[in-house]
Amino acid sequence: MDTQGSDPTSLFSAQPGKPCRACTDFRSWMKQQGSLQGASKSGKEGEEKNSSSQNNQKDNTNASSSASGSTLNGNVKSATVDPDDTDVPLTGNAAKYGCPADSLSLGRGSWRLLHSMAAYYPEKPSADQQKDMSTFITIFSKFYPCQPCAEDFRDWMKKNTPDVSSQKGLSRWFCEAHNEVNRKLEKPLFDCSLVNERWRDGWKDGSCD
């Protein structure tokens, strides 16, 4: 399921009656919140947000400009900055601790973990290690917090059994799983022959050293 920019229902939400943040990218989330809250917010609050927007804007030029088009009570700027995307502090506790994951930061962080686990998986795993990895992947596919994503992942797994036989096999399998999502989201496909350079060894040109 393409969750980018979609309008996930409360069916997948952690909180009854609220949209699923982990199924929604940050900009769409802010748009949704704007349309849900816009009617009830006072003009004063809008002004406060605008003024914090201007404060943030000094440091957030890139993020803010890339966020044009998203609105929160008519504020088109810093309310749309995702600290997980930019590492740019917002204000208050968000600046200190960040905010809950959206579909993009959750996806990025998850792939980082999955590809890295595959990178460090043994070349010749024991029977127990193979069983544990299979179990991990099955459980991951049940609890991945974006439920529509998890459902598609489980469907794909029905025809593509995890290859837990070796480091190379597992890395390729995760690469193909990731490419399946890339395909769905119409993103470029990754060349899976490069997966160990990307996630284990660093690029041969030395740019990660």
41 is a site residue for ligand FAD (CB under 6 A): no
66 is a site residue for ligand FAD (CB under 6 A): no
Whose Cβ is closer to ligand FAD: residue 56's or residue 147's?
Answer: 147
108 is a site residue for ligand FAD (CB under 6 A): yes
Whose Cβ is closer to ligand FAD: residue 53's or residue 163's?
Answer: 163
What residue is closest to ligand FAD based on CB?
107
* Sole binder of ligand FAD in the list 144, 162, 164, 173 (CB under 6 A): 144
**Which parts of 154-183 interact with ligand FAD (CB under 6 A)?**
175, 178-179, 181-182
Whose Cβ is closer to ligand FAD: residue 53's or residue 80's?
Answer: 80
Q: How far is the CB of 153 from ligand FAD (least distance, A)?
A: 4
Residues that contact ligand FAD, how many (by CB under 6 A): 25
Backbone angles phi, psi at 140, to 5 degrees: -55, -45
The span of 2-10, 50-58, 120-128, 201-209 binding ligand FAD (CB under 6 A) equals 2-10
CA distances to 7, 50, 98, 100, 169 from 68, in Å: 19, 14, 21, 22, 42
* Residue of 111, 144, 106, 153 whose CA lies nearest to 4: 106
List residues bridging with 72 in a β-sheet.
75
Is 81 in a helix, a strand, or coil? coil
Query: Cβ(76)–Cβ(27) under 8 Å?
Result: no
- Residue found under tokens 């309310």: 79
Distance CA 94, CA 83 (A): 8
Query: Cβ(96)–Cβ(66) under 8 Å?
Result: no
Residue ranges in contact with ligand FAD by CB under 6 A: 1-4, 103-104, 107-108, 110-111, 115, 144, 149, 152-153, 175, 178-179, 181-182, 184-185, 190, 195, 198
